[in-house]
Structure 1
């Protein structure tokens, strides 16, 4: 009887301990559901509503909005432009961000902190202020064109404003800190003696980087690439200010449907398709890159 009485409280305390994590996480979970999942669900429901120019949003449900987006070449061009822009910005951030992080890691104490602040500086400034600054630089009479013409590189101003090139440059400047932070966090976990061991065994520096350093940096590059791709694909302020009205991306197209034509269901449809495309592309690219690099490095 004594053994039975002592076992019962232990089982009860175990049940209470199992529920404690859920109770502690419930405020954050409720906040996540209220601020993210509920608006997403309402947006999905809105995308299936019909729309009439005279009566507004109708209670009738329809697939017409999705059929219109999938069948109209205008939206095909917008989605392809957005995907190409996001992919280009991601590649630029990898090309410039990874070497930048490696150089930063090899700097000594005072210079490392200074250059880290310089790299993270764009995150400390409003996105509108940054974009307007790039608009001034990209203008026909801006600093970049004046420098190119004064050096004799070009005889006339290069069209950077209201072009994909200008938007890609500005987004790379804004998003490259996310790549640096991701690779930097992964680089801090590595043992620097591993690289020295490869060099001491006679391997050239490029081969040491490819066979020793890159496989260990790959998780940071992948996580940084996912962040950069998602943010550049859904960017609004930079494409709107630097791209103008004619150079539309998915975010600006959804904005126009919501606030200009007031076709909220079509705007919700565009927004949900952007979210779905982001998730599919990111998951697919993640699996493909991991499989591809595992085959290369195993060989």
Structure 2
């Protein structure tokens, strides 16, 4: 064999070994896929199918397939008002949680042990209590004869009790308290990546505390705020117990309306259509916000 042939054989790249198909990852994920498919996808598909049926006062749920329920929701201004109220309450609740939760998470992050652990437990402790119990507590606080109105009228600050119950304001306050821990947790996770030396460097270069917060801290924790906002908005839009107790029957949202259609009027197809539209609206908003979060993460951590 000549030297040129030998050099060519040595220089020739070896073909990469072909990867063998392994079924292990699929088998490991199979139990989770079965659980998700059984407990989540199957009920959603059944709800979607149910929403395509019709309902009669004397015939009940019929076997025909149509988009009659969706057409009724789209054409009736009553349903428009309820869906707009639902998303308005969810948006205002999200803004309130962001305005209070983000500074609170930053303050907790700057605390030293053991106070940081104590106040973090105080903040996350309400998650261990039932949502119904917390909402009933707010009902006793916000009522016309509740603690807040009695205190303010007793001090002479108010001449008459302020109406919080059965109003959007009362629902937003109660929902913000219920969902605040989710915002704090999201911002807290983002703060773990924040280097305190960056703040010290900005201060040493002459930046004011407000400038440090606006130009250094806020851009880095913004992905956490956006992630927490997605969680809070989704939970607020689908909340049932808090709007039902604080809002009562006067102030309906999509979740309480679907409940009434299922159990009061027994119009299951219409209730299912309301639930499907609420889910679709949530998905559209969440996917759009998730794109914004991904772009923000790419800008901050690139």
Normalised to the residue count of structure 2, the TM-score between the two structures is 0.90
Of 227, 243, 247 in structure 1, the residue corresponding to residue 247 of structure 2 is 243
The answer to whether residue 41 in structure 2 is matched with residue 37 in structure 1 is: yes
The answer to whether 1:160 aligns with 2:143 is no
The answer for the alignment partner of 1:15 in structure 2 is 20
Number of aligned residue pairs: 284
Runs of 4+ in 1 over 2 A off after TM superposition: 282-295
In structure 2, C-alpha distance between the alignment counterparts of 1:122 and 1:174, rounded to whole Å = 8
Specify the alignment match of 1:126 in structure 2.
130
Q: Distance in 1 between matches of 2:244 and 2:208?
A: 46
Distance 1:228 1:198 in 2: 32
Give the alignment partner of residue 214 of structure 2, picking from 196, 210, 221: 210
Say if 1:21 and 1:292 are closer, same or farther in 2 by CA, change over 3 A: closer
Gaps of 5+ in 1: 1-9
Q: 1:57-72, aligned counterparts within 5 Å?
A: 57-72=61-76
Cα distance in 2, alignment partners of residues 289 and 160 from structure 1: 34
Which deviates more from structure 2 when the two are superposed, residues 61-70 or residues 274-283? Answer: 274-283
**Which residue among 242, 254, 265 is the counterpart of 1:261?**
265
**Aligned pairs (5 A) from 1:220-299:** 220-287=224-291
Aligned counterpart, 1:112:
116
Asked if structure 1 preserves the Cα contact closer than 8 Å seen for 2:261 and 2:267, the reply is yes
Write 1 or 2 for the structure with the bigger share of helix: 1
Moved more, 250-259 or 49-58: 49-58
**Gapped regions of structure 2 (runs ≥ 5):** 1-16
1:54 Cα offset (Å): 0.9
Question: Counterpart of 1:5?
Answer: none
Please tell me whether Structure 1 or Structure 2 has the larger radius of gyration of its CA atoms: 2
Residue 288 of structure 1: how far off its partner (Å): 5.2
